[in-house]
Amino acid sequence: QSALTQPASVSGSPGQSITISCTGTSNDVGGYNYVSWYQQHAGEAPKLTIYDVNNRPSGVSNRFSGSKSGNTASLTISGLQAEDEADYYCSSYTSSGAKVFGTGTKVTVL
């Protein structure tokens, strides 16, 4: 299985909105509404931020939202804040039952 494709980096100014894409195939992203997103600050473990395409775990800011169209899922961060600066990874369930992660996106707050 190949890693899902994400842009290497995305940046924005405080208060702006940014969107990170995650492109797979019909055997993973496109085939199931089982895409999740993880935020990873430097030196820390990843943290579940969005699950099942567009659901937020308890305690996650409503500035984070997810969506999906075809084989591409997206994570949007609105009202960008300095604390949002981190690496973000998507993940998907696959037709074989395995899991696959995205290549990762570094978000920079200008």
Partner 1 sequence: QVQLQESGPGLVRPSGTLSLTCAVSGVSISNHFWWSWVRQPPGKGLEWIGEVFHGGNTDYNPSLKSRVTISVDKSNNQFSLRLTSLTAADTAVYYCARVQWARNFDYWGQGNLVIVSS
Under the rule (CB under 8 A), what is the footprint of partner 1? 1, 3, 32, 34, 36, 38, 45-48, 51-52, 57, 89, 91, 93, 96-104
The one-letter amino acid code at 66 reads G
| Nearest distance in Å: CB 16, partner 1 | 25
Q: Which is nearer to partner 1, 14 or 27 (CB)?
A: 27
Q: Which is nearer to partner 1, 17 or 26 (CB)?
A: 26
Residues present in the chain in total: 110
Residue with tokens 């992660």: 101
| Nearest distance in Å: CB 85, partner 1 | 17
| Nearest distance in Å: CB 8, partner 1 | 10
How many other CB atoms sit within 10 Å of the CB of residue 1? 15
Q: Residue 81 has which token pair?
A: 């804040």
Q: Which is nearer to partner 1, 3 or 83 (CB)?
A: 3
Distances (CA, A) of 2 to 5, 76, 98: 9, 24, 11
Query: Beta strand 9-12 with 105-109: parallel, antiparallel or unpaired?
Result: parallel
Q: Which is nearer to partner 1, 41 or 79 (CB)?
A: 41
